[in-house]
Homo-oligomer: A and B are copies of this chain.
Amino acid sequence: MRKPNNKSDKYHLMAIELVNKMTLEEKASQLKYNSPSIERLGINDYNWWNESLHGIARSGTATMFPQAIGLSATFDTELLYRVADAISTEARAKYNQSVKYNDRGIYKGLTMWSPNINIFRDPRWGRGQETYGECPYLTSNLALAYINGLQGDKEILKVAGTAKHFACHSGPESIRHSFNAQVSLKDMNETYLPSFETLVKKGKVESVMGAYNRINGEAACASKYLINKLSEWNFDGYFVSDCWAIRDFHTSHNLTTTIEESAALALKHRCDCNCGDSYEHLVLAYEQGLIEENDITESAKRLIRTRARLGMFDEYCEYDSIGYEVVSCDKHKNLSLESAQKSMVLLKNNGLLPLNKNVIKSIAVIGPNANSIDALRGNYYGNADEYITFLDGIRNEFNGRVYYSQGCHLFKDSIQPLGEINDGISEALTVASLSEVVILCLGLDATIEGEEGDTGNAFASGDKTDLLLPKSQRTLVKRILEMNKPTIIVLAAGSSLNPLGELADSIIQAWYPGQMGGKALADIIFGKISPSGKLPVTFYEKSEKLPEFTDYSMINRTYRYLEGNVLYPFGFGLTYSNVKLSDLYFDKSTLSGSFNIKNEGNYNIDEVLQIYIKNESSTFAVKNYSLCWFKRVNIMIEEELKVDFSLSVESLSVVNDNGLREYNNDIYSLFVGVSQPDELSLLLSGVKSLSTRFEVSLNIM
């Protein structure tokens, strides 16, 4: 982890010195995301907006890793660190070249507005794909690893990361500019804020971005409650508004009546940087007496300090020597492949997988996502210099005949504008009937699952209206499965879907697996590696049983609070092998222990070990249980490993109705397994798990 800066560090002093030389107008100008140069002070123009969610995005060539939700499915903090390290290395390489050509435009800087650590509260949210899923513990740990990789471990920031969107931001997209999320203090502190707290306190994240919506009446970018939280956590970076969010104060939230008032309201709540145009009115707001010069000065200092911490005012910094050859280099592409391999989740397998490519003579690869580059990238993506679609991957790996049929449009009734409804079906049936095995590549892409204003918005502004595949694909699935061919369903999507795959032999959730996704899929399908991803979100059975999309209460949402409606549970994912757990030992005085895992199957695998904790006595306990530890291990055939674990004391705490964390004397059950506790996992996979029960006294507070 990066060495923490403190208030007296040299970059802080450098910022004070520079800002003290600025006029009021100059200081105000530095608060815009597209800040102009101040030549007499040696300050270049700088555009604060850059993106790095799963690779440098929107800025030309870069290695494209799996979309964030897929990275999360790896349950692999060490991998997340390496991915983020590769991303920040490419960012520095690109930055070093851009400034050489004096190109300081948008998406060219070192301030990344990633990751998105919102809790994936509702499976219909189009931007859920950008998150690490529905579990605060998983999100916190993966995001922390990502931020550490991004920001580096030196005194100089490698790049600056951003925890966004602060807070309680998870749709609906269509009303995000006017929406008021009603959130209880308990849900806020138990579910929505922990990942932000972790990134600020443990990750020293350099930036926090405010959300579009209001929370309990306050704009997220001007919230006393939220800004107090940041102070409490000793946040030491800059706060930035989501893009054009401050304008929403008067245009859609009706919190203010003029743009000056909106700018003032944000600045008064420590919103240092404005993505948008509201802060172009800061000087006018000052002249109208809505803000004081000191408000501007303090924000300018924080922003200039971030730039100083990035080495921008140093003669030389150690990252200046990173050469461009690292961009999209083989090492990074291989890391993208490894990430994709570890991200894919085997949801169902009746034994068809892995395929023996030496025996099978013909495969039909069918579906709108079979040969789709969009299905590899999700949203917030860069330009990969090589894409391996699912079809490409299978063809490259398989020597027999591969038949391809698009089968249907991703969501339209016909492939051809003038075509009849289901105009691709007869071809799909033809190639299926000619083949020994069918691989049906379905799902979504960012044209129908994504961000408001950023997508084709075929459905609800990027959100899903239900958990089903689009109608065109439902027809395709039904017709193909009715043939009773050996069939594998591959889903590319950033969220929970129910593919109605009861008749399918195997189902693989591939997420949006990045530029090498097709190779990763083929490696899994042909058994070069075993699948090892786990669901970072619950796959629900029916959208009808979900709470209202606009309801921010956690009741009946996510594995911690749900009441049935589960198709595949959080944490679930099959491998090609079979492990047995044994010898659970737990010392409640140190909150640590160990257990054994043995690979009793016929494949070398990675397995993700998971421990869930259930508070059996507190009235403030979450309804079900919470993930409190996880670890990905590699285990060979016949191998037996002893695995040590230790729990954080926070795992045993509860959040009361005032939103305060309590550490009490309670009774707990601990569940150790490769999925959720038995009652769920046994239903689905037959894998074993262990449990223990203990009582601990934790009167820490």
Contact = CB atoms under 8 A, between A and B. Distances in A.
B105 A434 contact: no
Given A325-B401, A385-B391, A94 B61 contact: no
A53 to B, nearest CB: 15
Given A392-B386, A401-B325, A415-B60, A101 B426 contact: yes
A535 B107 CA distance: 42
A685 interface: no
Nearest to A479: B101
Interface in A425-439: 425-427, 429-431, 434
A67 interface: no
A603 interface: no
Given A97-B430, A430-B101, A60 B424 contact: yes
Given A61-B404, A406-B383, A416-B107, A324 B94 contact: no
A420 B106 contact: yes
A106 B383 contact: no
B401 A385 contact: no
The quantity of this chain's copies bound in the complex is: 2
A18 interface: no
Contacts of A392: 386
B101 A406 contact: no
A395 interface: yes
B385 A402 contact: yes
A423 interface: yes
A419 interface: yes
A58 interface: yes
A359 B78 CA distance: 40
Q: How large is the interface on A (under 10, 10 to 19, 20 to 34, 35 or more residues)?
A: 35 or more
Contacts of A395: 385-386
A602 interface: no
A557 B324 CA distance: 49
A25 interface: no
B405 A61 contact: yes
Contact of A105 (B59, B386, B402, B420): B420
Nearest to A401: B325
Contacts of A97: 426-427, 430
Contact of A425 (B103, B107, B386, B416): B103
A497 to B, nearest CB: 24
A360 to B, nearest CB: 16
B419 A106 contact: yes
A278 interface: no
A536 B420 CA distance: 38
Contact of A430 (B324, B328, B423, B425): B324
18 contacts: A59-B416, A60-B424, A61-B431, A94-B427, A101-B425, A103-B425, A105-B419, A105-B420, A106-B419, A106-B420, A106-B423, A107-B419, A324-B434, A371-B383, A383-B406, A385-B402, A386-B391, A386-B392
